[in-house]
Chain A
């Protein structure tokens, strides 16, 4: 079945540092890939997505590229802010089986200090 593996946290950075959160997946076919963000006390919300190989999703300074050859969808941001402190979830849907059920990683907590 499908699976998503993302780096464990917490990731602790100083403001303006470069961020990478690794995400790799296992799925057949061509799933859609997502990054969701969860701020304290809230539900998850979409950060960015990519639906085919080599697509780059981007939003709010965050980027991730769908790499079919390495089955990866790493999240990056050039300069983080305190307001980026949150939990980030990598996820996938679809693929060859056309599953109705999204597969989520366990989440990576990001803490940004001033």
Chain B
């Protein structure tokens, strides 16, 4: 039981490049989330998926897109990376949104030059 996995662990991009961050969970959870974590800012929600087939914007969605590929997988895409997107990105999942514990992945550390 791996929980929530994220790939890659580290990535360096040049401004304007694109990339997709992958997230998968093996807990049969309905809801999945993408956060970014910056020093002094805590966690900020980028996008979430309350259930398979739905996605919604969070607090800071600009510059990102998401795909809920199936119940297990939720990817985050940066179409044209900017230095302001340098951050640590966390994926999380929960079984019953609004009630249950969130389970987090280990994070992807992204540097945009």
> Which residues on A are within 8 Å of B, measured CB to CB?
32, 34, 36, 42-46, 49, 51, 89, 91, 93-94, 98-102, 104-107
Which of A32, A91, A100, A107 is within 8 Å of B48, CB to CB? Answer: A100
Q: How many angstroms from the CA of A32 to the CA of B100 in the assembled complex?
A: 8
* Chain B contacts with A in 1-54, Cβ cutoff 8 A: 4, 31, 33, 40-43, 45, 48, 50
Structural contact, B107 and A34, CB atoms closer than 8 A: no
Q: How many angstroms from the CA of A43 to the CA of B105 in the assembled complex?
A: 6
Q: How many angstroms from the CA of A100 to the CA of B55 in the assembled complex?
A: 12
Q: How many angstroms from the CA of A13 to the CA of B21 in the assembled complex?
A: 38
Query: Does B61 lie at the interface of the complex (its beta carbon under 8 Å from any beta carbon of A)?
Result: no
In the complex, 21 of the A-B residue pairs with CB atoms within 8 angstroms, ordered by the A residue number, are A32-B99, A34-B101, A34-B102, A36-B102, A43-B105, A44-B43, A44-B92, A44-B104, A45-B104, A46-B102, A49-B101, A93-B99, A94-B98, A100-B48, A100-B50, A101-B45, A101-B48, A101-B58, A101-B98, A105-B42, A107-B42
Query: Does B110 lie at the interface of the complex (its beta carbon under 8 Å from any beta carbon of A)?
Result: no
Q: How many angstroms from the CA of A91 to the CA of B102 in the assembled complex?
A: 10
Structural contact, A43 and B98, CB atoms closer than 8 A: no
Structural contact, A43 and B107, CB atoms closer than 8 A: yes
Which of A43, A45, A100, A104 is within 8 Å of B31, CB to CB? Answer: A100
Shortest Cβ gap from B23 to chain A (Å): 11
Chain B interface main SS type: loop
Nearest-CB residue, chain B, relative to A106:
B42
Structural contact, B42 and A104, CB atoms closer than 8 A: yes
- 13 A-B pairs besides A89-B42, A104-B43, A106-B42 with CB distance below 8 A are A34-B101, A34-B102, A36-B104, A43-B104, A44-B92, A44-B102, A51-B99, A93-B97, A99-B98, A100-B97, A100-B98, A101-B48, A107-B43
